[in-house]
Amino acid sequence: MARRRIRAVIMRRDNLRYDFPPDFAQRLNGQSVRGVGRRAKYLLVELGSGDVLLMHLGMSGSFRVMRRGTLGKHDHVVFEMSTDAMVVFTDPRRFGFMTLLAPGERETHATLRALGPEPLARQFDAAALARELRRRKTSLKIALLDQRVVAGLGNIYVVEALYRARLSPKRRASTLVTRAGEPRPALATLVTAIQDVLKDAIRNQNRPGGDDRFLVYDREGRRCPRRGCTGTIARIVQGGRSTFYCPVCQT
């Protein structure tokens, strides 16, 4: 999509999670694509006009590129490109959304302004995480899912990172920070675990295996894979999401 022109946009419905802006297609038609990026779980397409196309895939959204073929009932938006390719957005559950940000709005838009640091960015370290967790009385699992604390972490990778760091998902988030606001050693271990989990996911994204790569996620009732641990993987629900952990070695 980058360095191409959007010849036309076909809207096959008026909304996804939210209504499309009234002039959505008109502002996109004929625009060149300067670049495609990401912030947390949001996709950002920079346009020649200075506008930014902001998108979120939701629970079931995806894109595919096709030259020809029949569109399905869940194909909601079609971007016809100057290369004669069609970039098709599919979303059966319609939890995704698309909107347009005016020039300069990227820095001030409420959706992006409140996001925390990217977990693989240089700014994300134990000290930065300590500042966010210092006064949080919620559980560690819930705190890490808060996009204001760290951007882009999803449920599965939080579960896996907590296991690698040997930290209970039920532990109060603030206990990883001293009264003076300094990170405890376990917090540095957690930062490393988060980054390692994400790097492994990037390396393995095109490899077969799927959930077999997970150590604890969706492993309820199985023996803990950590050498020497006698625990059994348990499942609890936190914030409406499944958490898998070892009650013996995660404290």
pTM above 0.75, yes or no: yes
Tens of pLDDT along 183-231? 999 999 999 999 999 999 988 875 554 455 799 999 999 999 999 999 9
Judge whether 41 and 56 are in contact, CB under 8 Å. yes
Amino acid (one-letter) located at 92 = P
Domains of the chain: 6-113 (3.20.190.10), 126-245 (1.10.8.50)
Give percent above pLDDT 90 in the chain. 86
Residue 2 — very low, low, confident or very high, per pLDDT cuts 50/70/90?
low
Tens of pLDDT along 30-46? 999 999 999 999 999 99
Could you tell me which residues come within 8 angstroms of residue 163 by beta carbon, excluding any fewer than 6 positions away? 215, 216, 244, 245, 246, 250
The three-class DSSP label of residue 199 is helix
Q: What pLDDT shows up at residue 216? A: 97
Q: What pLDDT shows up at residue 151? A: 94
| Mean pLDDT computed over every residue of the chain | 94
User: Residue 118, Cβ neighbours under 10 Å: how many?
Assistant: 17
Q: What pLDDT shows up at residue 225? A: 97
Q: What pLDDT shows up at residue 212? A: 59
Helix 126-133 and helix 185-204: axis angle, to 10°?
Answer: 110
Residue range 146-173: mean pLDDT, rounded:
96
Tens of pLDDT along 90-130? 999 999 999 999 998 988 998 899 899 999 999 999 999 99
Residue range 8-21: mean pLDDT, rounded:
95
Residue 239 — very low, low, confident or very high, per pLDDT cuts 50/70/90?
very high
Q: How far apart are CA 41 and CA 183, in angstroms?
A: 27
Judge whether 100 and 6 are in contact, CB under 8 Å. no
Q: What pLDDT shows up at residue 27? A: 96
What is each CA distance from 117 to 56, 151, 203, 204, in whole angstroms?
18, 6, 22, 23
Interstrand relation of 52-56 and 42-47 (parallel, antiparallel or unpaired)? antiparallel
Q: What pLDDT shows up at residue 133? A: 97
Judge whether 133 and 173 are in contact, CB under 8 Å. yes
Judge whether 91 and 23 are in contact, CB under 8 Å. no
User: Residue 167, Cβ neighbours under 10 Å: how many?
Assistant: 24
Residue 68 — very low, low, confident or very high, per pLDDT cuts 50/70/90?
confident
Q: What's the alpha-carbon Rg for the chain, to the nearest Å?
A: 21
